[in-house]
Structure 1
Amino acid sequence: MNQWSIYNRDFVNYLKIERGLAENSIFAYQRDLEKLSEFCIARSISPKEVNLENLKQFLADLYDLGLSARSQARVISGIKQFFDFMVLEGVRQEDPSSLLELPKIGMKLPVFLSIAEIDEMIAAIDLSKPEGHRNKAMLETLYSCGLRVSELINLKFSNIFFQQGFIRVIGKGNKERLVPVSPSVEKEIGIYVSGTRNHMNIQKGHEDFVFLNRRGKQLTRVMIFTIVKNLALSIGLKKKVSPHTFRHSFATHLIEGGANLRAIQEMLGHESITTTEIYTHLDQSFIREAIISYHPRNKK
């Protein structure tokens, strides 16, 4: 095992145990670090020998391959995390990535659906099929609670408190938050459980997960993406839709309805309010109406 493999492994363990990052975040860091490892191994550069010029050349190669500014920023973030770890562990005295500059990234507005489009997608679910009521309950939960797809597939009965009107969500970095749950979610989960789930042969270890596949096991992220994509195709929706689109729609519709930005931040589980603020840029007509209505110069 070469030095890069050893330190990469130790770095992944650090992200898991000490940083408590989500599996998907760890995988992204690991994948980007493997790119740097390959670059350095080909030039006989060890983790202790990497300097700023090496890193700049590595990033220049990625740029030449057509990597977007957003992807470059993610790679740089991973590199910085790795060398922070190396310094923390005493493997290196200095961080060669400290002077790396992040590329400028234009604001990318997320795709969202109108309320009518969401209703149309949910109405397109074939309730005569065994998975129909499960899929309807999942989409209602995605939209009404603003969950990430990983949070949906990991939703457990032990974290549902319908009487109190909340569900407990385990988000990024194993951080918990309470999200208000609507009567429509309670209704659809109830129909799914009584009509479908209670008649399934549930596999050992999967009893507490709310949403299961036909084999009685926890659903995968890929399965949720497939369900959403097929529903969008079935109604001829031209937008590029994913499970995350329901989360974007949740936030956008709350903003349009006048909800407090800080409350939306809490419900989405955003660490920074600036992440939530992107939704205030989505509907310019809504913003214009708010300004026209409330600015003192526009009052007669």
Structure 2
Amino acid sequence: MNWNSYIKSFQSYLKIERGLSKNTVDNYTFDLERLCLFLNQNTISISPEKINEEVIQQFIYSISKEVNARSQSRIISGLRSFFSYLIFEDYRSDNPMELIEAPRIGRKLPDTLSVDDIDNLISAIDLSTDEGERNRAILETLYSCGLRVTELITLKISDLFFDEGFIKITGKGNKQRFVPVAKSTQNYIELYKNTVRLHQKIVKGHEDTLFLNRRGKQLTRAMIFTIIKSLAVKINLTKNISPHTLRHSFATHLLENGADLRSIQIMLGHESITTTEIYVHLDRKHLTQIINTFHPRKT
């Protein structure tokens, strides 16, 4: 087997056995292709079974001149997973990444918006158009439920359980969770469904997709980015925002108002509470209130 054959086999493993998203699989693949390019450019003929730590160190050193520490760390993590897979399949007995350390990187705190910022974004939507009604429902859903953008665009009508007050979300690794949805957000979704979506010509295969583009198909991730960026420009919001900013704001505002980390973790669909703990670093005011309320020497 050559490198391409191993990479294709690894892709199938990531998709089928680990249930990773297309974006994650593409990132792993891109990193392996960079390694292959490095080997070709340096006329190093070596198979995945035989490549050693020394060659990989050379590769890591070469990319360190081109990418930042965070990207290096991601590439090293991806390569480590690839060679772990080869061990799992008995193609090799050792992992050449074992002694290679990723660069130390500080934890990047996510950007968030204030409640006023979010209100201003939504108020800037032109509700005189069909797309306006849809876009309001989209932003309300992103912020009200803390969804990832992929979770939003793949949301189905059959995932709406409004009588129970929940929506069913299919997250990373096809893991499903139920997230509470506010009554006001339910109303915006119903308004879009009954006044806009109801009259659209829907392309076959998208009948159950909730949010549609004007051609009757599922929206793309890029389109959601464009909608939010355009609204930010409209209100002169200088922060660098994306759909994920609304998810971060959802978690931060819940924490500020007294929600516990475990509940936020469940709603966000984080596998580990360590991931959710980043929001504690954002809300120092909340931590001060905790000390002033609960510590025995608060006075």
TM-score under structure 1 length normalisation:
0.97
In the alignment, structure 1 segments of 5+ residues that lack a partner are: none
Cα deviation, residue 143, structure 1:
0.3
Question: Partner of 1:205 in structure 2?
Answer: 205
Structure 2 residue matching 1:169: 3-state secondary structure: strand
Determine the C-alpha separation between the residues in 1 that align with 2:183 and 2:119: 16
1:117 and 2:117 correspond? yes
1:23 and 2:57 correspond? no
**Stretch moving more, 95-104 or 129-138:** 95-104
Determine the C-alpha separation between the residues in 2 that align with 1:62 and 1:68: 9
Question: Partner of 2:62 in structure 1?
Answer: 61
Cα deviation, residue 41, structure 1:
3.0
Cα deviation digits, residues 94-153 of structure 1 (max 9, x gap): 111111112111021100000010000000000012200100000000000000000000
Question: Partner of 2:9 in structure 1?
Answer: 10
Amino acid at match of 1:7: Y
Cα deviation, residue 47, structure 1:
1.3
Which residues in structure 2 correspond to 1:1-300 (within 5 Å)?
3-42=2-41, 43-65=44-66, 67-299=67-299
**Stretch moving more, 96-105 or 193-202:** 96-105
Amino acid at match of 1:53: E
Determine the C-alpha separation between the residues in 1 that align with 2:154 and 2:107: 30
In the alignment, structure 2 segments of 5+ residues that lack a partner are: none
Determine the C-alpha separation between the residues in 1 that align with 2:40 and 2:163: 58
Determine the C-alpha separation between the residues in 1 that align with 2:120 and 2:237: 10
Aligned partners of 2:255 and 2:286 also within 8 Å: no
Cα deviation, residue 285, structure 1:
2.5
Determine the C-alpha separation between the residues in 2 that align with 1:286 and 1:239: 23
Aligned partners of 1:171 and 1:269 also within 8 Å: yes
Cα deviation digits, residues 137-184 of structure 1 (max 9, x gap): 000000000000000000001111000011110000000111001111
Amino acid at match of 2:61: A
Determine the C-alpha separation between the residues in 1 that align with 2:291 and 2:107: 22
Cα deviation, residue 10, structure 1:
0.6
Cα deviation, residue 37, structure 1:
1.4
Determine the C-alpha separation between the residues in 1 that align with 2:257 and 2:243: 22
Determine the C-alpha separation between the residues in 1 that align with 2:39 and 2:239: 41
Aligned partners of 1:292 and 1:298 also within 8 Å: yes
RMSD over aligned CA atoms reads 1.0
Structure 1 residue matching 2:36: 3-state secondary structure: helix
**Stretch moving more, 190-199 or 98-107:** 98-107
Structure 1 residue matching 2:179: 3-state secondary structure: strand
Cα deviation, residue 235, structure 1:
0.4
Determine the C-alpha separation between the residues in 2 that align with 1:19 and 1:235: 42
Aligned partners of 1:40 and 1:46 also within 8 Å: no
Amino acid at match of 1:48: E
Amino acid at match of 2:36: S
Amino acid at match of 2:70: R
Determine the C-alpha separation between the residues in 2 that align with 1:137 and 1:27: 30
Amino acid at match of 2:160: I
Determine the C-alpha separation between the residues in 1 that align with 2:14 and 2:110: 28
Determine the C-alpha separation between the residues in 2 that align with 1:143 and 1:180: 12
Aligned partners of 2:255 and 2:283 also within 8 Å: no
Determine the C-alpha separation between the residues in 1 that align with 2:161 and 2:228: 26
Cα deviation digits, residues 205-252 of structure 1 (max 9, x gap): 001000000000000000000001111111000111000000000000
Cα deviation, residue 56, structure 1:
1.0
Structure 1 residue matching 2:297: 3-state secondary structure: helix
Determine the C-alpha separation between the residues in 2 that align with 1:80 and 1:38: 18
Determine the C-alpha separation between the residues in 2 that align with 1:218 and 1:83: 36
